[in-house]
Amino acid sequence: MDIQGTPVEVGFLEVVGNAFTTAISDKNDDLEKLLKAMMLSLWYQHAHQFESFSENMTLQSFSILVFGREFHFLSMHFIDDMYIVDEFDAFVIPDSGMNFSQIGIIIEIIKKFKIRLIRYYRQLVQRPRRVTRFPKPGLPTDSQLKLKRNQKPFPSEPDEEF
């Protein structure tokens, strides 16, 4: 997402294997990768995006884990310095014509996920970004590091004549 000119990653997708070959150990490894990415996203949002948080605004990141024909929709929240993971929906893609009646339910789940992302995006856009405040009004004239480098270590003394 592009939030006020700053790229912010809040959504992740991980596909484990393929629809026919599934190994539970691969699923656990990829789930761990997703959770780490979500935690980094929350840390970045907390560190760089917002000056203050209201009680109704919690930081979030989202992910989809695809394991075989299973789709798991996860969200992670940062509340009281804790990472809380929630699987808010899941579905299995039908493998026979008799189960195709579930397609409407699957579409509704995907629409709910999209709406949730859009709502979160709107909340992020409305929040003020953390900005750097300069100690003096006006533009800075020179960096402090450059000023220190240009200073002589000792004040110059006038040459004494003998």
Q: Which of 18-32, 72-86, 132-146 is predicted with the least confidence, judged by mean pLDDT?
A: 132-146
Split at pLDDT 50, 70, 90, the class of 96 is confident
Q: Which of 40-49, 51-60, 111-120 is predicted with the least confidence, judged by mean pLDDT?
A: 51-60
User: What is the pLDDT, as a whole number, of residue 64?
Assistant: 92
User: What is the pLDDT, as a whole number, of residue 62?
Assistant: 92
Average pLDDT over residues 29-50: 84
**Which tens digits make up the pLDDT trace of 135-162?**
556 555 555 555 555 665 555 555 555 4
Average pLDDT, the chain: 76
Beta bridge partners of 87: 74
pTM, rounded to two decimals: 0.66
Element of type H or E holding 156: none
Beta bridge partners of 85: 76
Residue 38 near residue 11, CB atoms below 8 Å: no
Two tokens, residue 128: 């003020």
Q: Write the DSSP assignment of 83-122 as a string of letters.
A: EEEEEEEEEE---SGGGGGGHHHHHHHHHHHHHHHHHHHH
Q: Write the DSSP assignment of 28-69 as a string of letters.
A: HHHHHHHHHHHHHHHHHHHHHT-S---TT--EEEEEEEEETT
The domains of the chain are located at: 2-126
For 13, 43, 44, 115, 131, the CA distances from 4, given in Å and listed in that order, are 24, 18, 15, 20, 12
Nearest CA among 93, 106, 85, 111 for reference residue 31: 85
User: What is the pLDDT, as a whole number, of residue 143?
Assistant: 55
User: What is the pLDDT, as a whole number, of residue 23?
Assistant: 78
